[in-house]
Amino acid sequence: MAKGLVVILSGASSVGKGAIRDRLLADPDMNLFYSISETTRPQKEGEVDGKDYYFVTHKAFAESVKNKELLEYTEFNGYYYGTPKAQVEFLTNKGKNVLIEVEAQGVGPIKLNIPDSVAFFVMPSSFEELEKQINTIYKDDEASIERRLNKAKMDMEIAPLFKNIVYNNDTDAAFNSIKAIVMEELEKRKNG
């Protein structure tokens, strides 16, 4: 049985990755399974442990890092986030395709572990549009707006390192661009 494909979705904060991710996961042609991240941040109302995230203590997260159980990890707003290696390996070894959504700096470590993964960076149509979006979402939290804008600038500086950059002027168009490349990759694997 052929190993599953790992698809990595990244992009600037508030660029609309969530809407694209949901469309990708709902598409039966790609048959993608979502890689659930581990985090030290508190569970928000309505979130389900093991579905939205694996909510863990700082100590447990540190153990995962020490034991090299994460494909990548990062810190944002004082909390840690990481991609559990065992989950991704289990699914891909069963021939399942896996979607990992990560911060831009997390893509390099995943590509080192899984060189044949396919990574996408979602870009806003313009930084001004992204700024409007972030201001709308976080309107009551000036500090959060500032952090997210600074992070978005840093993420967008990394974007040229990606082979696949997708502009999210329109969710349907962005989804279709990503799907076309993923389907081409799956076809290559089938015939390879």
Q: What is the pLDDT of residue 172?
A: 93
pLDDT tens by residue, the chain, 192 residues: 688 999 999 998 788 898 999 999 999 999 999 999 999 999 999 999 999 999 999 999 999 999 999 999 998 888 999 999 999 999 999 999 999 999 888 899 999 999 999 999 999 888 888 888 888 877 777 888 888 888 888 888 888 778 899 998 889 999 999 999 999 999 988 876
Give the integer Cα–Cα distance in Å for 136 and 28: 33
Collapsing DSSP to helix, strand or coil, 81 comes out as strand
For each of the domains in the chain, give its residue range(s) and CATH number, in order of start.
6-191 (3.40.50.300)
List the beta strands (DSSP E) in 2-69.
6-11, 32-34, 38-39, 54-55
**Cβ atoms of residues 91 and 98 within 8 Å:** yes
Q: What is the pLDDT of residue 70?
A: 97
Q: What is the pLDDT of residue 126?
A: 82
Give the integer Cα–Cα distance in Å for 38 and 49: 10
Going from the C-alpha of 127 to that of each of 14, 32, 77, 90, the distances in angstroms are: 11, 30, 22, 38
| Phi and psi at residue 159, to the nearest 5° | -45, -40
Please tell me the pTM assigned to this model. 0.89
**Of 117, 165, 180, whose CA–CA distance to 12 is shortest?**
165
Q: What is the pLDDT of residue 192?
A: 64
